[in-house]
Amino acid sequence: MAFRVLHPTDEFLNYMPFIIKQPETEEEFEQYYDLRWRILRAPWGEAKGSEIDDIEDRCYHVMVTDDDDCIGTGRLQYNTDNEAQIRYMAVADGYERQGIGKLIVEVLEREASSTRHNTIMLDAREPAVGFYEKLGYEVKEKSYLLFNSIQHFRMTKTLK
Ligand SMILES: CC(C)(COP(=O)(O)OP(=O)(O)OC[C@H]1O[C@@H](n2cnc3c(N)ncnc32)[C@H](O)[C@@H]1OP(=O)(O)O)[C@@H](O)C(=O)NCCC(=O)NCCS
């Protein structure tokens, strides 16, 4: 069921005009994947469809909307009984640095906690490492190079 989440912290309640929810309808999933493609694939010339992998139906998806536009996405996948992974974090152009990414990560972490996945790992693009550090993630090692150009760093966080 789609839901309107009261923003997880009082800080957000004070000013955040956006809605965060799980995409549910076909149209919502279209918007959700489209933003992933526009932010994470199109700038490198990657084809539509490259933003979708084969485990989407087993993952927890979150989108943020402004009116009816999808302006933020994030996904949690379950790697093992206690480890989850954050992927496909994307905030639309013009909406960065307003707390949307932080809000998405908080909701994904809440889902991870509630399913007893107390360790979260992710592979951060180099320019996003500082963002995850602000949210308590630590760099463990250099990981892969995407599209021959985007260095990723493996980061982890243990949830309390
Ligand atoms: C990285 C991204 C998800 C961050 O989302 P955002 O909504 O802009 O981030 P927020 O506004 O929630 O930022 C939370 C905190 O991190 C800081 N921050 C945000 N982006 C940062 C960055 N690139 N480097 C360092 N700090 C950053 C913010 O200043 C803020 O700090 P504060 O709490 O002290 O004010 C977003 O910029 C994005 O989609 N980038 C392009 C795609 C991408 O790289 N995705 C990640 C793939 S691994």
Please give the pLDDT value at position 140. Answer: 98
Q: Quick one: pLDDT at residue 11?
A: 53
Q: Taking residues 4-31, what's their average pLDDT?
A: 75
Ligand 1 pocket mutation pick from 134, 146, 153 by most atoms within 8 angstroms of CB? 134
Map residue 5 onto helix, strand or coil. coil
User: Which residue's CA is minimally distant from atom 23 of ligand 1?
Assistant: 128
Domain 10-115 part of CATH 3.40.630.30: yes
DSSP 147: T
Ligand 1 atom closest to Cα of 98?
11
Distance 32 CA to ligand 1 centre (A): 18
Ligand 1 atom nearest 40 alpha carbon: 42
Q: Give residue 49's pLDDT.
A: 98
Nearest residue CA, atom 37 of ligand 1? 96
Residue identifier of the C-alpha nearest atom 16 of ligand 1: 131
Query: What would the pLDDT profile of 39-68 be if each residue is shown by its tens digit?
Result: 999 999 999 999 999 999 999 999 999 988
Q: What is the pLDDT of residue 3?
A: 43
Cα–Cα distance list, 33 to 64, 68, 119 (Å): 12, 15, 26
Three-class DSSP category at 86: strand
Q: Is 96 in the pocket of ligand 1 (CB under 6 A)?
A: yes
pLDDT at 2 over 50: no
Rounded mean pLDDT, 9-28 = 77
Given a cut of 50, whether residue 26 has pLDDT beyond it is yes
CB 102 less than 6 A from any atom of ligand 1: yes
Domain map (residue ranges) of the chain: 10-115
What per-residue confidence (pLDDT) applies to 78?
A: 98
Is 1's pLDDT higher than 70? no
Predicted pLDDT of residue 8: 54
**Per-residue pLDDT, 90:** 98
Per-residue pLDDT at 4: 47
Are β-strands 119-125 and 83-91 bridged in parallel, bridged antiparallel, or unpaired?
Answer: parallel
**Contact between residue 106 and residue 58 where contact means Cβ atoms under 8 Å apart:** no
Amino acid at position 147, single letter: F
Ligand 1 atom nearest the C-alpha of 92 is: 39
For residue 155, pLDDT over 90 is answered with yes
CA distance readout (Å), 102 to 7, 20, 30, 46, 133: 11, 12, 23, 26, 11
The pLDDT tens digits of the residues spanning 82-113 come to 999 999 999 999 999 999 999 999 999 999 99
What's the 98 CA to ligand 1 centre distance in angstroms? 9
